[in-house]
Amino acid sequence: MIEAQVLPTPIGSLSLLVRQGVLVAAGFTGEPGEMLARLTPELQAEGMKVVDDLGPISQAVRDYFDGDLDALDEIPVEQPGSATRKRLHQALREVRAGTTVSYAELAERAGLPRTAARVAGSACSQNLIAPFVPCHRVLPSSGGYGGYLYGVPVKEWLLAHESANRAS
């Protein structure tokens, strides 16, 4: 059974889905069912129940939004994907809060050539665990913010939050 919680944040509701103590989905929506629908059919079949608190995972979210930018880093996560996508997601987790990388840099950090920027972008678009796997920290090398599943204003807010709190 997947346990879910919806937490309020300064930029809207954040749904968290946990299976056996491991975060399998997270996203800026007040509807955990939207996150469940993005999981594999096998995980969906386990069912979902909404709980009041997910313990350390919920606390990590509160700490992150209170300014402890490293609070999300130690939470165990798991999501499907090829070996390449998993390497890209792991490389994303290693991008420190308050910093950004380009898609080409992300590819390189995952052991791919810089020309694999599109592959890195695809891994970001398929990320099921925002902001724990911080795809918001990836920006196009051509400038601007690029896209973000939960909207560019959410991406901008997260980056500003991290920059402001990393500087202090």
| Residue in the block written with tokens 């380009």 | 102
Q: Which residues of 44-65 are buried (b: 16+ CB within 10 A; e: fewer)?
A: eeeebeeeeebeebbebbeebb
Q: Record the tokens describing residue 76, joined without a space.
A: 């165990």
Alpha-carbon span 40 to 134, nearest angstrom: 21
Is residue 124 annotated as a catalytic residue, yes or no? Answer: no
Catalytic residue among 135, 138, 139, 154: 135
- How many degrees, rounded to 5, is the angle at CA 72 between CA 70 and CA 73? 70
Query: Can you spell out the DSSP letters for 134-167?
Result: -GGGEE-TTSS----TT-HHHHHHHHHHHHHHHH
Instruction: Quickly count: other Cβ atoms within 10 Å of residue 146's Cβ.
Output: 18
User: Would you name the residues annotated as active-site residues?
Assistant: 135
